[in-house]
Structure 1
Amino acid sequence: MEKVLSVEGLGKKFKTTQAIKDISFHVNRGEIMAILGPNGAGKSTTIRNIMGIMYPDEGTITFHNHQEGDLPRHSIGYLPEERGLYKNVNVMDVLLYFAELKDYPAKKAKERALTYLKKLGLEGKEKSSVEELSKGMAQKVQLIASIIHEPELLILDEPFSGLDPVSQELFKEEIIALAAKGTAILLSSHQMNLVEELCDRLYMINQGRKVIYGTMDDVKEQYANFKCTIKGANDRTLLEKIPNVQRIEYTEGKSVLYLDGDVDASQWIQQLPKTLSIQEMAIDRISLHEIFIDIATGKDSHKEVPYA
């Protein structure tokens, strides 16, 4: 695969605080790569270093053959977590201005702006000022501004913030479409269910350092233990006798059993008591959301998924 962005050994210190240390990953053409972590983990610092908003103390950032200080900004799109639209300017002028900053042809930019406004449900809003828009509408305009110049690399920092479920679906569809056309996408979000649906690989940071790096499938297979959800009225004492169970979440009529990491699910099922009441049963791996919570709260041993 063609590497569009490579980050090697990135480090940044603020006075006595080491914000990030030895951060290394790459983003391929046509893939969606997630950069994740709890608040204060170092995600925003990493992104700001990539964008040249600040400069690292150590390490290198390479876009194709261009290195830090020489990155072609016209080839990079950026949707920041803190939004930055001019409130008293109309939508079309804002979009054309952002396109001009990227040296993108005005005529083509206007055509693309009208196409995206229609696609995202903002048709007829091109003459409205940004301050007249709802938060969700303004977020859509911000997305269009980040992609109007057809970037090779797109960095999305909390793109789903403030969006209703319908708008989230529109954003997901557009992000997938952009990747299918070859855009390399680096996405940061706290909405793990959307990350799990969208992303090919992930890089998770905690306390400024890498804790997970790998494909979504590898992370789920090597990191996420199985859990068994049973619907049925069962006594907790009966559930506690089942082997290879780390913990049980019990509510009336439903139990979730979290299994040991080395459990063979098909063999484990055969050990269930015959007296167990089972109306419905499902076995799957814990979600990315649960992995995230375990890391953020220190419940897990931070196993690392190797990625070549």
Structure 2
Amino acid sequence: MASPSTPILEVRDVRKQYAQHTALAGVSLSVPAQSVFGLLGPNGAGKTSLIRIITQITAADAGEVFFRGEKLNPSHIAHIGYLPEERGLYKKMQVGEQLIYLAQLRGLSRADAVQRIKKWLERFEIKDWAKKNVEDLSKGMQQKVQFVATVLHEPSLIILDEPFSGFDPINANLVKDEILRLKQEGAAIIFSTHRMESVEEMCDSIALINRAHKVLDGPVKLIRNQFKTNTFEVEGQGRLLVVHPDFEVVEQQERENGFFYARIQLHARTTPNDLLRYLIGPGAVEVHRFQEQIPSIGEIFIRRVRETMPETLVEETA
């Protein structure tokens, strides 16, 4: 039996080739239990190929995948829920009957399925649509139904591929809250998306795949700190004049009524307190805001993708 510290999923040196196309070139990653894990990458990077291997839709050419410390095998399918980017519901079937059918495929009895479906439809505010055909639902409501079908059997690993696609902000927040609730109840969620603001808000850890290779992974906070440049944003009032060997003004703007904005980079072995003391020293400026500029996951994503592109592609996209 796996210990509580055992990752729910480990991918070790997985490789996948389709004819002349390399989809995965030795990808390894580890998904902690009870966490939200962001699987990121541009289109065609290899994310979907990896998801299909984890869900046993296809097999890896080489490498291994472990679920709760055991080599991945068909028995684990019952513990995984998968919401693909390309949705697939039977449009002529009633919502309730369809959910019962899909739940029974996952091993639930009809009675258990009905009980769970009732709770989920109430939670998603679509209980009045249980006897409607799927084709009569809006795209957003259909996506809610497919999300319910993904989690009805209470999987311990949930894989969501672009779960917010097509949702308005209210329903996106509703789904986000449910994802976080499922995490709190013990599930691990692999979350594949292009919405970097969602990654920033929800993910504990991420892995970035580009051109079949993993190019970055780790906890979100640690990754952001790794990419910071020791640059601080300063806003205030007065005449900003920085003449000091330990500080470099990267950007400066003069604003109305004597206000200013600046980005100042600290050199090695210089602390934020050193800069702040210099700014507010005798005859200096009045500081209204002083904040370290730490890159967002979206900025890091773009930077790492560009760094790992062949030079010819970089020139074409520049």
Give the structure-2-normalised TM-score: 0.82
The amino acid across from 2:172 in the alignment is Q
Alpha-carbon offset, residue 266 of structure 1: 3.3
Looking at structure 2, the residues matched to 81 and 98 of structure 1 have their Cα atoms a distance apart, in angstroms, of 18
User: SS in structure 2 opposite 1:218?
Assistant: helix
Of the three residues 263, 287, 294, the one matched with 1:257 is 263
Comparing 76-85 with 45-54, greater Cα deviation is found at: 45-54
Q: Distance in 2 between matches of 1:71 and 1:224?
A: 44
Task: Name the amino acid aligned to 2:295.
Answer: I
Closer/same/farther in 2, CA of residues 14 and 8 from structure 1, 3 Å limit: same
Question: Of the candidates 261, 279, 304, which is equivalent to residue 295 of structure 1?
Answer: 304
Once structures 1 and 2 are overlaid, which stretch shifts more, 128-137 or 265-274? Answer: 265-274
Q: CA offsets, 1:132-183, max 9 Å, x none? A: 2222211111110000011111111111111122112211211111111111
Q: The residue matched to 2:153 in structure 1 has which SS?
A: coil
Q: Secondary structure of the residue that 1:128 maps to in structure 2?
A: coil
What residue identity is the alignment partner of 2:229? N
Match of 2:123 in 1: 119
| Letter of the structure 2 residue corresponding to residue 157 of structure 1 | D
* Number of the residue aligned with 1:37: 41
Q: Structure 2 CA distance, aligned partners of 1:246 and 1:16?
A: 50
1: CA distance, partners of 2:52 / 2:11: 13
Structure 2 counterpart SS, 1:124:
helix
Does structure 1 retain, via aligned residues, the 8 Å contact 2:227–2:295?
Answer: no
Change in Cα spacing, 1:282 to 1:54, as seen in structure 2 (3 Å) is same
Structure-1-length-normalised TM-score = 0.84
- Name the aligned partner's letter for residue 75 of structure 1: H
Please give the per-residue CA displacement for 1:252-285, whole angstroms capped at 9, x wherever unaligned. Answer: 7775737479664333444559766855443341
Correspondence 1:223-238 to 2 at 5 A: 223-231=227-235
152-161 or 193-202: bigger deviation: 193-202
- Contact 1:63 1:71 (C-alpha < 8 Å) held by counterparts: no
Which residue is equivalent to 2:29? Answer: 25
2:182 to 165, 178, 181: 178
Note closer, same or farther for the CA distance 1:202–1:166 as it changes in structure 2 (3 Å cut). Answer: same
Q: Which amino acid aligns with 1:257?
A: R
Larger-gyration structure (1/2) = 2
Supply the distance in 2 between the matched residues of 1:31 and 1:145 (Cα, whole angstroms): 21
> Which runs of structure 2 are paired with 1:1-308 in the superposition (5 Å)?
1-64=5-68, 66-231=70-235, 248=251, 255=261, 257=263, 259=265, 264-272=271-279, 279-298=288-307
Range that drifts further, 138-147 or 38-47? 38-47
Gaps of 5+ in 2: 310-318
Contact in 2 for aligned 1:242/1:272 (Cα 8 Å): no
Cα RMSD between the aligned structures? 3.1
CA distance in 2, matches of 1:268, 1:281: 10
1:209-254 Cα distance to aligned partner (Å, 9 max, x none): 122221122112223335534456999x968999665954969777
Supply the distance in 2 between the matched residues of 1:30 and 1:298 (Cα, whole angstroms).
32
Q: Hey, what does 2:316 align to over in structure 1?
A: none
Distance in 2 between residues matched to 1:258 and 1:127, nearest whole Å? 61
Q: What corresponds to 1:303 in structure 2? A: none
CA separation of 1:16 and 1:129: change in aligned 2, threshold 3 A: same
Provide the rounded CA distance (Å) in 2 between the counterparts of 1:52 and 1:211.
24
Q: Indicate conservation of the 8 Å contact 1:33/1:200, yes or no.
A: yes
Q: Which moved more, 1:69-78 or 1:252-261?
A: 252-261
Distance 1:261 1:90, change over 3 A: farther
Q: d(CA) in 1 for partners of 2:306 and 2:150?
A: 34
For residue 312 of structure 2, what is the aligned residue in structure 1?
Answer: none
Counterpart of 1:183, as a letter, is A
Aligned partner letter, 1:266: N
> Please, which moves more after superposition, 4-13 or 26-35?
26-35
Q: Secondary structure at the match of 1:297?
A: helix
In structure 1, the residue corresponding to 2:127 is in which secondary structure? coil
Unaligned runs of 5+ in 1: 301-308
Percent of matched pairs sharing the same residue: 33
Does the residue aligned with 1:72 lie in a helix, a strand or coil? helix
